[in-house]
Chains A and B, each alone.
Chain A
Amino acid sequence: MEERILFSSESVLYEDSTNNTFYYSFYVPEGCKRILIDFSYSPDEMEKGDLRKEKVKACLNKYMPPPYDKELLALVWAGADFSDFPLHNLITVSIDNEKGEYIGCAHRHQSHQVHEISRDRASYGFQPDPINEGLWRIAVQCHAVVTPSVEVKTIIKGEF
């Protein structure tokens, strides 16, 4: 069995990247039996501190308007301490095969993910696929960047 790198990228996403999808194509040569995706981003979450507390409060205020959430809002206004309330970056990947068919996505909070796709099996979130030669696509869904920036690394390998 031979393993080859099919694609790799390092990029930086920013707060303004939030709510956008970034697409990359990668070429899968003939004879490839299995695709391995190593995807990671860093940092995983926003550092504890005033800035984070403000972000949490702003979010709660925006989405919990009175009168429905009077009690919860009272906590916010009464200076309830949200110091321990975490805020995570959330970036996910989805894959399309050479026909443009959606193979799946791993939508979960996990800043380092390893996935595989082959004819017989696939990691959770993805469907098995015969792996045909052609241009495949990986989409990076930027659901939330709460840190000033986040480094995103993708390595796609093929097994032959």
Chain B
Amino acid sequence: MRLSGPKDIEWIAAELHCHTVHSDGRFTVESLLECAKRYDLSLIALTDHNTAAGVTELSPALESKYVPVIRGIEWTAYYGHMLVLDADRFVDWRDVTKDGMDEKIREVKENGGLVGIAHPFSVGSPICTGCCWEYTVSRWDLVDYIEVWSVGFPSIHRGRNQRAVDMWQSLLDEGYHIAASYGKDWHFEVDEKEPWGCTYIAVNGSDSDLPHKVKDAIRMGRTMVSMGPRPVVVAHAEGMEILPGDTVREGSDVSLSVMIDGDYRSEQWSKYGFVPESAKVIGRFGAVIAKIDLDGFNPAEIVFKAKKGHFRVVFSGYVMDKDCEIAFTSPYYVNSSEEKQ
């Protein structure tokens, strides 16, 4: 069964956090791209620690043979790791102080880059230097995304992941618009014993110039985070189809057709035994606005009234016989009726 909306949108699978031999990965640039294609990913972001040297190896020929690439870097600073995608020029990470990250983020944004906070609750120094986010940020309005799920089986290994989701949720509750991403933090290919995820990103139209389309989509908040399968959410409000990142008015009737796509990239995840059980609409402060049981990979309908703040769709079920979350969308935002659109 397929669900499709009127918008000419395709949700593609991307891995937004990758390393190569240019930092501490074992992938060469080409082997990373080859692996990404084999894993049915449509795009990757190359984000080596503190270097963009890998980017000099990219070419249109290489990218068309394998997958297109967003040029990036992972700021591997002393009190946090930050993903910077497609900035027009290098912004120096070396002199950032614990209180100085706002200024750096502003500089990256002024140069056209996207800013994402990587694995904010990983174990930090000295076990993993700078891996836990400890920078003071007040300009969360400039942050495009947070890597709320990372590495293997994120909804079971809750330590860093649940804390990251909670942090994201409270920023959303404060009124910030921030997309979510998954990061495999890919360094080399391993025989995966546990499911791993990807970020699904909504892009318009054809495959041409995918990196820029993906960049725009992340900026607009059009992402979904999954442990593998692609969620499908066709949302309508105020007579229009809406996507994550869009804003509707408080009190609007929202109708959702939701399902987990049982076919897309199934070679990558079906071996882990996914059984979708429910879809929930989560609002401000984690309130459950609506919930519906799912019959496996079949679609279901949810109708509710938009409440002020934001809402997102969360899919749960069983994976490897464990009761856990499977995927979720980035938020849809809700303006209170007095506010102008």
Contact = CB atoms under 8 A, between A and B. Distances in A.
Interface of A: 18-21, 55-56, 59-60, 62-64, 68-69, 72, 87-88, 90, 92, 94, 101-102, 104-109, 122, 124-128, 139, 141, 143-144, 146
A143 B163 contact: no
B50 A107 contact: yes
Contact of A144 (B51, B53, B125): B125
B78 A68 contact: no
Interface in B115-166: 121-127, 129-130, 132, 158-160, 162-163
Nearest to A15: B126
Contact of A124 (B22, B92, B121, B123): B22
Given A19-B79, A21-B95, A141-B94, A60 B51 contact: no
Contacts of A122: 53
The 8 closest A-B pairs by CB, nearest first: A107-B49, A19-B78, A108-B24, A143-B129, A105-B50, A144-B126, A63-B123, A69-B159
16 contacts: A19-B79, A59-B123, A59-B125, A59-B126, A63-B121, A63-B122, A94-B51, A104-B52, A104-B53, A106-B23, A107-B76, A109-B24, A127-B56, A141-B94, A144-B126, A146-B126
Interface of B: 20-24, 48-53, 56, 76, 78-79, 90, 92, 94-95, 121-127, 129-130, 132, 158-160, 162-163
A64 B127 CA distance: 12
B159 A72 contact: yes
A114 B241 CA distance: 56
Nearest to B98: A19
Given A107-B23, A125-B48, A128-B56, 16 more contacts: A18-B78, A18-B125, A59-B126, A60-B123, A87-B126, A88-B126, A101-B90, A102-B92, A104-B22, A104-B52, A105-B49, A106-B51, A107-B50, A108-B24, A124-B20, A125-B51
Nearest to B163: A68
A26 B60 CA distance: 37
B200 to A, nearest CB: 26
| Chief secondary structure at chain B's binding surface | loop
A45 to B, nearest CB: 10
Contacts, number: 96
A143 B22 CA distance: 18
A63 B24 contact: no
A125 B21 CA distance: 8
A68 B127 CA distance: 19
A143 B53 contact: no
A68 to B, nearest CB: 5
Contacts of A127: 52-53, 56
A119 to B, nearest CB: 13
Contacts of A55: 126
Contacts of A125: 22-23, 48, 51, 53
A21 B97 CA distance: 11
Contacts of B52: 104, 127
Contacts of A19: 78-79, 125
B146 to A, nearest CB: 16
Contact of A56 (B22, B48, B127): B127
B127 A143 contact: no
B89 to A, nearest CB: 9
Given A87-B126, A125-B23, A128-B56, A107 B90 contact: no
Contacts of B162: 68
A140 B23 CA distance: 16
Contacts of A60: 123, 127
A64 B123 contact: yes
A123 to B, nearest CB: 9
A68 B157 CA distance: 9
A125 B57 CA distance: 11
